[in-house]
Amino acid sequence: MALVNGYTLIGEAKKQKTLAGAFNTTNLETTLAILDAIEESNIPSMVQIAPTNIVLSGYKYIVDMVRNRASTMKTPFCLHLDHGKTFEDVRQAVEAGFTSIMIDGSHLPFEENIQLTKKVVDFCGGYNIPVEAELGAITGKEDDEVNEADRKTDPNQVLEFVKRTGCATLAVSVGNVHGFEQQPKIDFDLLGKLSDISPVSLVIHGGSGIDDQTLQKISQYNVVKLNIGGDLRRAYISSIGKQYVANNNEYNLIKVLLKAKGDVQQVVYNKILSMNLLNIHH
């Protein structure tokens, strides 16, 4: 079965020197689109969902969907909780069968972020599940009122944070933003510093707004995971919208959903390949 433990997935990506795209799902169609694209690409990747997107289905539904498709897949992937905000988010996802976890304490003061992250790391350790932590709030949807300098990850805090929490990977803020409201401007000097300092591999959030050339440049740093959500949601909604505009009497729902699923799959496949353009050895 291709659904693997998060540690296995990170190890596989490092071994192949590829960047693991982590794609946000919301429902059955987006889940299948992501998994079919991962299988087609043959590059270790992740499917993920945030607690904010679980309201329609629940963790167990997502796990069941993923396991059903995984049983016939060969390309390794893991199922990741994106932006878990509370210990309860984490507990529910782990008990449902998620194989990788993120705890986002970046909105908390430094010490409290460490305490929450460490608590989650200790809990997940019992299940041998890796924990992604976040240091330095990433702008956009997640938070709005911090000034630009404060939002970026402070290199001086990285070593202490990683050592004290035991996190497996670290999400950093280097000018990347969530959603489409702001333009990302990646600070490669800072990313270089963080890559050198951090004892664990880094994670970049907000990959949707970042152009392919910049993604390829990011892949050359100590970055193991790159999150993409907005591009997928936009492709799905846009596909359904265009189909309705083309025929507002359409009632063949499966036809509409298959087209939307196909459109999302194409976006995921293109992203996996483009972010790894410099890493794929033929």
Q: Per-residue pLDDT for 96 more than 50?
A: yes
Total tally of structural domains belonging to the chain: 1
* Single-letter amino acid code for the residue at 213: Q
The CATH number that applies at residue 51 is: 3.20.20.70
Report d(CA 84, CA 77) in Å as an integer.
Answer: 19
| Domain annotation covers residue 156 | yes
Is-catalytic flag, 196?
no
**What 3-state class would DSSP assign to 160?**
helix
| Domain annotation covers residue 1 | no
Binding site members for Zn(2+): 83, 104, 134, 178, 205
| Domain annotation covers residue 138 | yes
* Confidence (pLDDT) at 143: 47
pTM score, whole prediction: 0.94
| pLDDT tens-place string over residues 150-182 | 579 999 999 999 999 999 999 999 988 777 767
| Domain annotation covers residue 281 | no
* Confidence (pLDDT) at 282: 46
Q: Do residues 89 and 51 touch, judged by C-beta distance below 8 A? A: yes
> How confident is the model over 120-139, as a mean pLDDT?
92
| Domain annotation covers residue 143 | yes
Three-state secondary structure readout of 146-158: CCHHHHCCCHHHH
Which position among 36, 82, 89, 263 bears the catalytic label? 82
| Domain annotation covers residue 282 | no
| pLDDT tens-place string over residues 188-246 | 999 999 999 999 999 999 999 899 999 999 999 999 999 999 999 999 999 999 999 99
| pLDDT tens-place string over residues 56-93 | 989 999 999 999 999 999 999 999 999 999 999 999 99
For residue 31, what are the domain limits?
A: 6-275
